Amino acid sequence: MMQFFDVSCWLVWILPLVSSVFVPLFSRFSVKIRNYFVILISAITAFLAFSLVPEVALGGEGFINLTASWIPNGVTAGVFIDPLSVLFTCLVSLFGVVITVYSQGYMKGEENLTRYYFFLLLFIGSMIGLVISDNFLQMFIFWEMVGLCSYSLISFWSNRPESVKSGNKVFIMTRIGDVLLLAAIGVLYSSLGTFSFRETIALLPTIPVSTVTLVAFLLLGGAIAKSAQLPLHTWLYSAMEAPTSVSALLHAATMVKAGIYLIARFIFIAGPLVATLPLWLPTVAWVGVLTAFLGATMALYTTDIKGVLAYSTVSQLGFMMAALGSVGVHAASSLGWFASLFHMVSHAFFEGLGFLLAGGIIHALGTRDMRLMGGLRKLMPITYYLALVMIITTSGLPPFAAFFSKGLVLESLMETGVLLQVILLFATTALTFAYSVRFMKLIFLDEPSEHLKKLHVHEAPKVMLMPAALLAILCVIWGFVGPALGSFMHTEVELSLLFAFFNIETAIFTVILIPTALLVYSTYWRKYSIMNSLKSDKNPIVKLLKHGYFFDDFYEKVVAKAVMIFSGGVKFTEEAGFEMFPQKFASGVIRLAGGVYKYFDSAADQFLNVVAGQTMGGASKVKTIDTLADRLLDLLAGRALRSASKARKVPRNSLQHYLAAAIIGFIMLVVLIIISVGV
Amino acid sequence: MDFVILSIVLLAIGVYGLLTQRHLLKVFISIELVATAATLNFVMLASSLSREVGEAFLILAFSTDTCVSAVILALLVIVSRKYGTTDISKLGEPEEEATEVDV
């Protein structure tokens, strides 16, 4: 058993990484073989991942850290097996299977599928590698690789300009986080001399708190970008240009959780130290709470079916972040840490389910606009019932998964958080309910739209419904696994299912749901005129929400413009300074030549005249010479002038001009060196 | 610390080129300059602090850089053949106005 474990914890991430390279090879044989190969590999990966569970569950406290030599005398590669990494590994590999099967239906008939499956397998491998790495450096490499996969899969339809644009945007925005993470790792390495988690756990208390604080904030920056927290959340909405299967895997279930993983891992490493870092935990909590609240408000007015799910994801990620911010000195054994991860998994289930169903609807209708839907309840009955499960779970109604997990998040925040945070989170749960019901109403319950009548809508194929059904079942049962998961994660807090139903959070939740339900009912069912103003575009709040608080406009108009203006300024300086100067210099020389020509011309003229006047007598010969010389001079000067005027028209950026600039620069450098050395 | 200055100068030149140049090849050269600056910094710091890790990573960086250069050059040829221009400001323009998703 132990031997199998030794192999499986390495194979679980190396296998998909290596197999991804073989995808193009198998596609040479046949498309079918390639598809089965991908499913087979992801299934084996899932098996390997779940085989890690008993080892950790029986292994008791602590973690298992296996290493292999990578760079001599420096860095070792390794795997770090503890409940946190195994939880993530299982989740990623499970979703890997679900999505590869689902893709068989959803991506059927698309071109370039070899590229798609290659990146899918590469993503599964690198995401598992990210969570199972035993040092920061290895983690960072995989962190970058999932970013690359995200970029390539978002821009999968490379002939659609908006896909390519979104891919670029996502890549650039997540890059901000990558840089911050790299900086954090650099600071850690320079003060500890190691990348390894195990050694960091031992050494972290020995370095000054200010350094740890710096590292913690830099890591938080990385997590904010990767997990779409405020103010960098806008990339997640743009990422919806990806195929829906990709959105389900990367942008709902796994990749966006990398930031949550990072913070959870840091809390695990830092232990009780985390509570002593000034301002860090409150910042994490506030980022989470604000993200949760604003994300939910933005989901209220989006008409894009995937947009609602995207903002919902942003909001739920905020919940997880807020829970992580509520850990105290108990760190990784506290309720907040566990609640965050518990909610992470239940969110993966219901949001993944949401995306799979949305994929089916988009597949059938060919649009993402919810205003063109409605009345799908009769046309797609199975999708409807699955969506019902999804919506009930999302809004946190008992007894589905999110009821328990969200309850725990609220409970942990009520213990340690500020009152305003708790109020905002409760408001967010109400908003979640509101946008969920609106989602249902617009898609399934409304009158069929004109667009729908023109189409022959069919139920999604089985290969797409089966994965969705699996996730729906998990949504239902996951909540009851809570206590078992709690002991698996070594949480010190006693969890009981019964208690979840009869506590103060549930009471408050029920109380605030009633007015929300009435509000939604009067807006979308009865359509009272007073409520119509809530929906109309003239309402400034609506405008604000529809534009996502103008975050994107700010980035595009201000930040991007500023960069462009700066770049333009530099270019202008270059043109004015480095290009115009040689230009001016050249034209100065040309003018000088012109002046010299004139002077010489007249001087020679006069000189000849004088000579001619003095030798008036037998002057005819001399006069001939005079005219000849005159002509010669004319000819020469004319040619010089012509070539000078030609020189003026030499295009800028010509090699000569650069050469001139380089020489001037060289001279300036020499002068500077002489000044600095000589004096 | 001379090499740090050299590296900063190289980086500055590279960034400057990235900001001002519109020709794809020049942009590529600027990227290479930036990469060279980073690599130089890496190896010099590693040798002055006598840490082998940096030198090991230098090999990694070099090999990666070479691969990247090869791919970029290939892409450059394809782009200039397909679009008939090497001006990135022209390449960046969408061929048709992107349709906005209704929000």
In a domain, B103, yes or no: no
In a domain, B21, yes or no: yes
The secondary structure of chain A in percent helix, strand, coil, rounded to multiples of 5, reads 80, 5, 15
Please report, rounded to a whole number, the percentage of residues in chain A having pLDDT higher than 90.
12
A169 touches chain B (CB under 8 A): no
**Identity (one letter) of the amino acid at B40?**
L
Task: Using the predicted structure, report yes or no on whether residue A32 has a pLDDT greater than 50.
Answer: yes
Stretch A642-650: mean pLDDT, rounded? 56
pLDDT of residue A278: 84
Q: Which of A474, A491, A508 is the last residue of a domain?
A: A491
Size of chain B, expressed as the number of residues it contains: 103
What contacts B31, CB < 8 A, 6 or more positions away?
B14, B18, B72
Task: Using the predicted structure, report yes or no on whether residue A509 has a pLDDT greater than 60.
Answer: yes
A307 touches chain B (CB under 8 A): yes
Same-domain pairing of A474 and A598 = no
Residues of B in contact with A161 (CB under 8 A): 94-96, 98
Looking up residue B49, the CATH number of its domain turns out to be: 1.10.287.3510
In a domain, A367, yes or no: yes
**Identity (one letter) of the amino acid at B5?**
I
Please report, rounded to a whole number, the percentage of residues in chain A having pLDDT higher than 70.
83
The secondary structure of chain B in percent helix, strand, coil, rounded to multiples of 5, reads 80, 0, 20
Task: Using the predicted structure, report yes or no on whether residue A622 has a pLDDT greater than 70.
Answer: no
In a domain, A587, yes or no: yes
Interface contact A74-B53, CB threshold 8 A? yes
Stretch A533-541: mean pLDDT, rounded? 65
What value does the mean pLDDT of chain A take? 81
Q: Of all helices (H) and strands (E), which one includes residue A332?
A: none
Rounded to 5°, angle at Cα A526 from A521 and A528: 105
Residues of A in contact with B98 (CB under 8 A): 161-162, 165
Stretch A181-203: mean pLDDT, rounded? 87
Q: How many domains does chain B have?
A: 1
Number of A to B CB contacts under 8 A, please give it. Answer: 48
Stretch A463-474: mean pLDDT, rounded? 87
Q: Which of A473, A491, A509 is the last residue of a domain?
A: A491
Task: Using the predicted structure, report yes or no on whether residue A112 has a pLDDT greater than 90.
Answer: no
What contacts B55, CB < 8 A, 6 or more positions away?
B43, B46, B47
pLDDT in tens, A224-265: 988 888 888 888 888 888 888 898 888 888 889 999 999 999
pLDDT of residue A122: 92
Strand partners, A77: A68
In a domain, A24, yes or no: no
CA atoms of A189 and B54, how far apart (whole Å)? 12
Among A219, A343, A194, which residue's Cα sits nearest to residue A274? A219
User: Which residue in chain B has the smallest CA separation from A543?
Assistant: B103
Give the pLDDT band (50/70/90) at residue A92.
Answer: very high
In a domain, B76, yes or no: yes
Which residue carries 């328990």 as its tokens? A404
Among A141, A177, A116, A99, which residue's Cα sits nearest to residue A348? A99
Task: Using the predicted structure, report yes or no on whether residue A548 has a pLDDT greater than 80.
Answer: no
pLDDT of residue A659: 59
pLDDT of residue A678: 62
A69 touches chain B (CB under 8 A): no
pLDDT of residue B96: 46
In a domain, A98, yes or no: no
In a domain, A513, yes or no: no
pLDDT in tens, B55-100: 777 888 888 888 989 998 998 888 888 887 777 777 655 554 444 4
B95 touches chain A (CB under 8 A): yes
Task: Using the predicted structure, report yes or no on whether residue A382 has a pLDDT greater than 50.
Answer: yes
Give the domain extent around A283: 279-491
Rg of chain A over Cα atoms, rounded to whole angstroms, equals 34
pLDDT of residue A646: 57
Give the domain extent around B67: 2-86
Instruction: Give which of B53, B55, B67, B96 to mutate to test A binding, by max A Cβ within 10 Å.
Output: B53
CA atoms of A24 and B75, how far apart (whole Å)? 20
Taking CA atoms, B57 is separated from A169, A422, B32, in Å, by: 29, 47, 17
In a domain, A47, yes or no: no
In a domain, A428, yes or no: yes
Stretch A509-528: mean pLDDT, rounded? 74
Q: How many domains does chain A have?
A: 2
Q: Which of A437, A472, A491 is the last residue of a domain?
A: A491
CA atoms of A28 and A201, how far apart (whole Å)? 48
Interface contact A75-B53, CB threshold 8 A? yes
Among A68, A98, A64, which residue's Cα sits nearest to residue A81? A64
A469 class by beta-carbon count within 10 Å (0-12 exposed, 13-18 middle, 19+ buried): middle
Interface contact A162-B16, CB threshold 8 A? no
- Of the given ranges (A67-71, A421-425, A526-530), which has the lowest mean pLDDT? A526-530
Stretch A655-661: mean pLDDT, rounded? 58
Compare A41 and A446 and report the one with higher pLDDT. A41
pLDDT of residue A556: 72
Stretch A653-660: mean pLDDT, rounded? 55
Compare A143 and A526 and report the one with higher pLDDT. A143
In a domain, B100, yes or no: no
Give the pLDDT band (50/70/90) at residue A651.
Answer: very low
Same-domain pairing of A335 and A459 = yes
Give the pLDDT band (50/70/90) at residue A615.
Answer: low
Same-domain pairing of A346 and A461 = yes
pLDDT in tens, A306-318: 888 999 999 999 9
Q: Answer for the pair B98, A162: CB distance below 8 angstroms, yes or no.
A: yes
In a domain, B33, yes or no: yes
pLDDT of residue A647: 53
pLDDT of residue A126: 92
In a domain, A356, yes or no: yes
B94 touches chain A (CB under 8 A): yes
| 3-class secondary structure, A68 | strand
Q: How close B95 comes to chain A (CA, Å)?
A: 8
Stretch A119-123: mean pLDDT, rounded? 92
CA atoms of A518 and A67, how far apart (whole Å)? 58
B51 touches chain A (CB under 8 A): yes
Rg of chain B over Cα atoms, rounded to whole angstroms, equals 18
Residues of B in contact with A362 (CB under 8 A): none
In a domain, B57, yes or no: yes
Same-domain pairing of A314 and A453 = yes
Stretch A322-338: mean pLDDT, rounded? 80
A303 touches chain B (CB under 8 A): yes
Residues of A in contact with B94 (CB under 8 A): 161, 165
pLDDT of residue B100: 45
A556 touches chain B (CB under 8 A): no
